[in-house]
Structure 1
Amino acid sequence: MYVVGDCRLRTLLKERNMSQAELGRRTGYSRSQIGHWINDRDKVGVMGLDKARTIAKVLGLDSPYDLYDWTEVSAATPDKAASD
């Protein structure tokens, strides 16, 4: 089982020498929304798959899942909510 980690947008934009504003122009998402995905995931959550796919295409990624780090966790670890 995998758990979504940090958003990689900051690194990906830097690698492409692209600003948040430029990504916004190319995707139609506001620079402030892009900034929230980069900086405030705890508040705004993970971007929707439709948005991730759009951004991944603009950035030339193979998969929208490449926008985040992923951590593998043991499936044998019971979910607290499931045990309540």
Structure 2
Amino acid sequence: MPETATLLRGIFEGLSLTRAVLSKPRSRELPRKVTVDPVELRGETAYRFTTQLADRATHENLTADGARERLGTLLTDYGQALLQTA
């Protein structure tokens, strides 16, 4: 299995991520679920992070580099991750 950084670099450089779902947080302070979906913003691909909190959902759009960095950090915080690619 490839190293996490190598895997994420390939997914984001090839723009092949179609969805990511992170669940089973390792700490009770973390959101119960985070999803990542590609979105088109101003003619460029960005990635929308949707965080499921107890009483609401929050959204944040990141560039490919920012998304790769954030997803790499989140992978260590969650016990289950599903990465779907094209």
Normalised-by-shorter TM-score class: 0.3 to 0.5
Larger Rg: 1
Quick one: higher RCO (CA 8 Å, sep 6+), 1 or 2?
1
Query: Greater share of strand residues, 1 or 2?
Result: 2
Question: What is the TM-score of this pair, normalised by structure 1?
Answer: 0.35
Query: Greater share of helix residues, 1 or 2?
Result: 1
Question: What is the TM-score of this pair, normalised by structure 2?
Answer: 0.35
